[in-house]
Amino acid sequence: MKLVSRPFLAFLADPLGSKPRSLRLNQDGLAATGPTQTDIGFGIISARPTVQSGLFSSSLSLALSDGSHLLLPAVRSTAAQVFSDATEMAWMQFNVEQLSKEEQSITSLLDAIGNLKTPAQYPSACHVDPFARQAGELTRRVLSKLNAAAVGDDTIDRVAPIVAFAENPQATRDTAINAFVDQQLERWQEFFDTVESMPLTPEQRLSVVVDEDATLVLAGAGSGKTSVITAKAAYLIKAKIRQPDELLLLAFAKDAATEMSERIEARCGVPIAARTFHALAYEIIGEVEGEKPPLAPTATDDKAFLSLIKDILRDIVSRLADVAQTVIGWFAGFFDDFPSPWDYQSAHAWYSEIESRNLRSLKGETVKSFEELLIANWLYRNGIAYEYEPTYEHKLKGTGRRAYTPDFRLTESGVYLEHFGVRKKRLRDGAEELTTAPFVDRDEYLEGMEWKRQVHADHETVLIETYSWEREEGRLLDALAEKLQPHVTLRPIPDVEIYDQVTQVGVVDSFTSLIATFLRHFKNGGCAFGDCSDKATNLKLGKRAEAFLKIFEAVHREYQSRLGDRIDFEDMVIRATAHVESGRYDSPFRHILVDEFQDISTGRARLIKALKDQHTDAKIFAVGDDWQSIYRFAGSDIHIMRNFGNEFGGVYAGASGVHRSVDLGRTFRSVDKIALAARRFVLCNPAQIKKIVVPAGEADQPAIRIAWTRRDTAESVMAGTLAALSSALPSSDRKPSVLLLGRYRFLEPNLRSLRKRHPELSINFKTIHASKGLEADHVIILGADNAKMGFPSMIVDDPLLSLVSPEAEPFANAEERRVMYVAMTRARHTVTIMASEARPSTFVTELMKEPEYGVSSPQEAAERTHTCQQCEGRLLYMPDNEGPGWYRCEHVKLCGNRMPACPACGTGLPIREAAQSEMTCSDCGAAQQSCSTCSDGWLVERRGRFGPFLGCVRFPDCSGKAKVTKSQSGKLTA
């Protein structure tokens, strides 16, 4: 049978001749003639033909399986309908025949779908996806084309489950999963009740039963993750899902692996050895290569590793002059992009920035500005002996100023150096004027510059001046060298001597840690120096990154040379992974259980994926808490856990990254006022995975408190805190435990003395990193100060690490926030945070600022904290045991503002209300006459050459005064 287009009408409908001009029905399908000869088999026709009637003629349309349509235009309507009916009958007959050929597939699919109603195993993606793909393909090729009139309703009804499965495979699998989980929870109830010392929670039971291609158990602090892993392994064995040798249990620490092995053997009666990643990698290498290469001694000792890096740096400095210059320049701050005071609107903000940086020179002293740091380090490097801020050699009487301390004095020549914080500004008329930072009184500062010049002129001492505008132009140190050339002889100190000097003052430690962290990430990720350099350029990290990579390349080369034929842990994992990926190692493992998954590194993740990829039905079961990811320095990459599905998930119904997450939620450790506050705190970073937290109990009073410390009160504050814990605790047979936590080990107090004075308490100290997995009744966090090595530490989240990390963490102090979460959640009942009252860390400030945290702090200290009128920082009350107290600015070295306490009560501070001549004490309410010259001083009686007068309490910083008269009461008044 043939259907032909009418020539003239076909030309009008399709003038370009792109459509066929005739169709012939034959045994296997249709043959189309036109621009080309085309055969259309019945198998690629997806629906019955349709006839579309037009004004002068009709057209016949065929839908094809690739989504296209074939159109024969300009045909007679009657002939088209006859041809369509004949084609439909032939097409249906073809599909009936095809259906008979698929009987075996249909039967197996119907059995599989039937089994999903009461599944005998967890319907994971890897098990169900083959059926879903088969159902989809069969439906597309055959079942969707069936016609009830041709095959009968019974046949349509029979294949309907397959069609429904193909149309919505996810719904079918979800139903099957729910059925399996419900059945397993009921069947294994007694096991879940008894496998651990306490019955498993509903969330723990669910995590054990769920068995997706990739399952992530979100186990918050104190939620019983070890119980989950133990129960999971025992369940897999007892339910005969896996044989013992098909299980791979991985832990990050040897002790954790040993504990896991012992617990699992006790629960299921079968010895299953948990391994560390490195033990597994070593085992793989030995099996493939026939012997295990020797291990570097620093691989198992972080302290030795850091010491080695420090030694390599020294060796490089002593041998490689070019690199040595860069190393010393790094320590001198020559590559740092220091902020400018012109970018700050208040002295308080600027002072806080300076204090947080801990500006310590190569010589070892702390300086007050970034530009002074550059000058001090240039002097030191060039062997020019100097004093920083010495007292001027001549007595200056009657100046009404504080003692004059120039910035520097060169001890051999007696030359003085003053660095002035001024920049040049060009006016419209072309003239230049000097400007100061926004928070500096320009006129007063320029007056001070002139006064200093005059002092040196009067006493015939040499003054060399440098300026901020010289640094702005990039020539500060060059200008300094030119100005000093007539007065000094440069005797550059050997670089290795400078290195030894900065090592003694602790400057090298943070850089060594950065190098070590970078090295581990670099090797873990298989990075290349060229890629790092390109990335630094793209991220605009500037000369600092360029200098760092120059140093690191030399360190890396020397490190690899010293390894020789030995391997470190990074090499070990990389080599083992290569054996697995190449197939030289045949993995027996079908279930991979990983503890502390938040600590996974790029190299370890790649090894897991390689093992999993060897078997289509292999599963990964990971337990971790991204809120406790605090080992970036050891190579961990939090983004792997955050992208768990993309990294490890399976494929189902065309979707990749298929995985399951289970949130354990419940904590068995911390009360609500700790657990919920810690949750709120860590989730300030929106990148953290949100988890439910169910506290272990409720507290009826604040559980987190701030304890203020001062330079000389840390010991007494600690003693008071421990005494308070002792007196508040109920009597019991067990000593209440107190865990002292420090961000760094140098914060460890004298434990022997503390234990002797508080025998009723069990007191221990750990660094926060070493405390993971531990718990105590009470936690005391030490050193939460705003400092370079405070808490948060300012040496952890260095932007340079983004060069060897797949993805940077844009949130400020991201890892340090997690470290604080770990510290807080070690506690069952109370957390005490010891922080400098003068310089509390940003974390302490945040916790106190938000009422939702429920943090308590000494009320008396809060009431006696006022705003410094000179810099907008805080004025802190300083008690005096021998008399009235006084107030000083928190920026004691930079601002230096001091105020006496109220003369009436000795504790409060007179405060001025707007437009009033009197000031009222914040404590006792006594009135004091305000100074008309400054904003925060008041007048007190003084005596001069001409008798009594009223002078400002801030003298000599303020010279405000007033005449006095004798009132009828005999009291001196203005």
* Amino acid at site 356: S
On whether the 188-295+582-663 domain is CATH 3.30.1490.20, my answer is no
pLDDT of residue 400: 67
What crossing angle do the helices spanning 202-209 and 225-238 adopt, rounded to 10°? 40
**Ligand-binding site membership of 223 (annotated):** yes
Query: How far is C-alpha 628 from the chain's CA centre?
Result: 10
Provide the residue ranges of all domains of the chain, joining segments of one domain with +. 2-100, 102-177, 188-295+582-663, 672-857, 865-973
- By C-alpha distance, which of 941, 944, 929 is closest to 972? 941
Question: What tens digit of pLDDT does each residue of 74-130 get?
Answer: 999 999 999 999 999 999 888 888 888 889 999 999 999 999 999 999 999 999 999
Scanning 539-601, the segments in alpha helix (DSSP H) are 542-563, 569-582
What is 2-100's CATH topology?
A: PH-domain like (2.30.29)
pTM for the predicted model, two decimal places = 0.78
Q: Give the separation between CA 704 and CA 706, rounded to whole angstroms.
A: 7
DSSP state of 308: H
pLDDT of residue 429: 85
**Ligand-binding site membership of 812 (annotated):** no
pLDDT of residue 615: 96
* Amino acid at site 694: V
Q: Which residues fall within 8 angstroms of residue 528, CB to CB, at 6 or more apart?
A: none
**Ligand-binding site membership of 802 (annotated):** no
pLDDT of residue 491: 94
**Ligand-binding site membership of 226 (annotated):** yes
**Ligand-binding site membership of 224 (annotated):** yes
Half-sphere exposure of 790 (CA within 13 A, CB side): 21
Q: What are phi and psi of 338, to 5 degrees?
A: -70, 145
**Ligand-binding site membership of 238 (annotated):** no
**Ligand-binding site membership of 125 (annotated):** no
Half-sphere exposure of 729 (CA within 13 A, CB side): 22
β-sheet bridge partners, residue 871: none
Q: Give the separation between CA 871 and CA 133, rounded to whole angstroms.
A: 70
**Ligand-binding site membership of 221 (annotated):** yes
Listed as ranges, residues in the chain with pLDDT below 50 are: 968-972
Q: Which residues fall within 8 angstroms of residue 904, CB to CB, at 6 or more apart?
A: 921, 924, 926
Q: Do 2-100 and 672-857 fold alike per CATH?
A: no
Domain range 672-857, CATH class: alpha beta
